[in-house]
Amino acid sequence: MKPMLRSVRPLVAVLLWLTTGFVHTESALSKRLDNQVILKGIGLLPLGVTSEEETSIDTDGAPHVEKVFIHRFSHVLGNQTERRKFESALDFILDAEEQLSSTFNAAPRTAQLLRDHVSGSASALHAIQLARELSDHVASSDGAGFHAKAVTETLQQIATQLKNLSHASCHPITRRIILASLVRLQLLLHESPLSEEAKTFKDSPDTPRLFFHICRLLFNLHRQGGAAKGAIEFLHISKSGGTSMCSVADRNGCVAESVTNYGNCMVRRFDDRPRWVSAEVHNQSAPLDGWRWFYRYSVRRGNRSCEYRDEYMQRMRFTFYSNEFAVHGGLEGDSSDEDDEHNGDHGGASGASWHSTHVCPQFLNVVMLRQPLARLLSHIKWIIKVYRSEYGRRSEAFFRARDADYWRAFAPAAVDNYYIRLLLGEAVFYMPSGTVNTTHLAAAKLVLLQYDVVMLLEADDIDELWLRMALGWRVGLSSAHARVASSSRTTNELVPFDVDDLMAANTEDVHLYDFGAVLHQLDGFMFAVMSAAGIQPYSPYNYLEASDPGVGKRVRCGYVTRKQQLLANMDVNVSELHRVYDSEFPRILSIDERVRAPPPTPPA
């Protein structure tokens, strides 16, 4: 028996080895198939995948393009007045490339414009040129001179250029120029009657597939750019949902310096606190009590550069911060080389006024707009409420029987085209009332165009579409309404009796909001097409529950923390996207900031 056992043992070992090998092979194959399902579910494939896999995703998503377009643009299709306004905004977007560098000729070379090696690469500029040629063809053909083959080839070339864009940016300007041309093409295809060429193009199964393909590539660039940036800068426009946004950022797992109502997701050393009330005018009704946060109108922030901010955000591992003051740059006077070096700004900006205004490309730049006149009234009521909480009955001395002219002196920027002042930097913010004009409006539109995400507070799909698809968040704004301006009888009585005069003077802000609504429509078309096709922001998004108390630990602020899934797993070299600083930047203080005195030097 013993010799037989010895002869059987090797056979058993071989069988066990073969069985284990089959199990491991099957497990590896199963894992690979699972990964393919996950990647297809998020609409993102590694570099170099076969065209068949991409075609499969785009074929499945193609039927949703038409449905989403009709749903989101029916008001433009059915109203000639709205159509003309919309087409005018598209023209502005399509011409933006030529305006950006001349308008912001003093901005740092690293700003989020179209002249750096990332956002202004040869592929980006080529894609923009193709989009403009497509738009020109659509505008000039009027249906009769439409060439289906040429349009198809142009769309294919745009897709090719998009695949060559850097993952270090969301490419918001390029994206919107391309989306403007796609939407203009769709508008033409919904006119009647159509030429035979246009009908052929519209009826081809390749057309919706190409539309979906381009939208998916743009969506992928947005997500991957967000992951490369690693943190969000939110421009908090007072009384436009910013405090709620901070609260929701916290619930979505973002890391901020402070999420209390006072901290409001701001970083203290950046001094992005709001400048509402003039201390000088306040002092006419009551003595100043030191520097209070609500009467800081005259306090200059100065140059806290993008590099200064990025280094600190990385060092502290913050993933979200709010800026409740102005966009960067746009300072009064020239900045010296010494100041630039001290603040970490080696971009060579020497500009004055708003020509040096810029947003920081290191961050996912997000802004939320509210209808300007509603925001203005809410802001007035909120200031009254703040004063009542601080001064009690004495607060009435500041507001009783006051008119519009008083408010223009009391809260100069807050009641006079606040959006444009914030978007064009400190110098424009402090311009006298009544001096904001159409030139400033055009420049502010160009700044808004550089924001990666432009949301509207009034949008009914802000949670299910925007926070989900634009940021990768799971908990929506409907869960938080942090601050509501008082509408008590006393507050309403203290609103200036001629408040309509203030509203009439905010025409430029209203026009800017209308332009922001067009950007919101264009981006919303892309996000909605992806959402309708079942494309997840990332995996396992569909398994996250907003009501789960621990959901923030799984969301982790959305795209900005997902370098591994959205970049490394796609065979992108993540190390090339790291931003490294040799040393910490020294802290900069505003005139009203105080820090603890250093400890006394011990005696020798």
The pLDDT of residue 594 is 65
pLDDT interval class at 34 (50, 70, 90): low
pLDDT at site 116: 84
Give the helix/strand (H/E) hosting 323.
strand 320-323
pLDDT of amino acid 350: 34
Give the confidence band of 490 by pLDDT, cuts at 50, 70, 90: confident
pLDDT band at 26 (very low <50, low <70, confident <90, very high): very low
Q: Considering only residues 328 and 38, tell me which one the structure prediction assigns the higher pLDDT.
A: 328
Strand arrangement of the beta sheet that strand 232-235 belongs to? 320-323, 232-235, 364-369, 453-456
φ, ψ of residue 504 in degrees (nearest 5): -65, -25
The pLDDT of residue 382: 96
Enclosing H/E stretch for 453 = strand 453-456
When pLDDT is cut at 50, 70 and 90, the band that residue 487 belongs to is low
Per the DSSP assignment, residues forming a β-bridge with 358 are 328
Burial of 133 (0-12, 13-18, 19+ CB in 10 A): middle
What are the backbone dihedrals phi and psi of residue 263, each rounded to the nearest 5 degrees, phi first? -70, -45
Q: 155 is written with which tokens?
A: 């769309």
Angle at CA 188, nearest 5°, toward 186 and 191?
Answer: 115
How many secondary structure helices (H) and strands (E) does the chain include? 25, 4
Six token digits for residue 466 = 């925007």
Ranges of H-type helices in 486-543: 489-494, 499-504, 507-532
Instruction: Pick from 33-37, 42-46, 320-324 the range whose average pLDDT is largest.
Output: 320-324
Band of the pLDDT at 64, cuts 50, 70, 90? very high
* Residue 79 pLDDT > 50: yes
Instruction: Kindly tell me if the per-residue pLDDT of 288 is higher than 70.
Output: yes
Question: What angle (nearest 5°) sits at the alpha carbon of residue 216, between those of residues 210 and 221?
Answer: 130
Give the other-Cβ count within 10 Å of 15's Cβ.
10
* Token pair recorded at residue 237: 């426009």
Q: What is the pLDDT of residue 115?
A: 83
**Tell me, what's the pLDDT at 598?**
58
Average the pLDDT over 174-201 and give the result: 96
Lowest-pLDDT range, 109-123, 242-256, 483-497, 515-529? Answer: 483-497
The model's pLDDT over 352-393, given as tens digits with 9 standing for 90+, comes to: 489 999 999 999 999 999 999 999 999 999 999 999 999 999
- Global pTM reads 0.90
Residue 174 and residue 124 in contact, taking contact as beta carbons nearer than 8 Å: yes
pLDDT of residue 22: 46
Query: d(Cα 441, Cα 436) in Å, to the nearest integer?
Result: 8
Instruction: Please write the tens of the pLDDT for every residue from 133-186.
Output: 999 999 887 657 899 999 999 999 999 999 999 999 999 999 999 999 999 999
Per-residue pLDDT band for 38 (boundaries 50, 70, 90) equals low
Per this entry, what is the length of the chain? 604
Residue 488: pLDDT over 80: no
Distance, CA of 585 to CA of 267 (rounded, Å): 15
User: What gap in Å lies between CA 449 and CA 453, rounded to an integer?
Assistant: 9
pLDDT of residue 125: 97
- What is the DSSP code (8-state) at residue 114? S
Any idea which residue has 């982790």 for tokens? 556
Neighbours of 583 (CB within 10 A): 7
Q: What string of DSSP letters covers 220-252?
A: HHHHHHHHHH-SEEEE--TTSSHHHHHHHHHHT
- Distance from C-alpha of 106 to C-alpha of 110, rounded to nearest angstrom: 11
C-alpha atoms less than 13 angstroms from C-alpha of 522 in its C-beta half-sphere: 30
Contact 296, 266 (CB under 8 A): no
CA pair distance 508, 440, nearest whole angstrom = 9
Q: How far apart are CA 69 and CA 478, in angstroms?
A: 26
Angle at 227 between CA 361 and CA 537, to 5 degrees: 125
Mean pLDDT of 545-550: 95
Here the tokens at position 603 are 């005696």
- Report the pLDDT value the prediction gives residue 227, as an integer from 0 to 100: 99
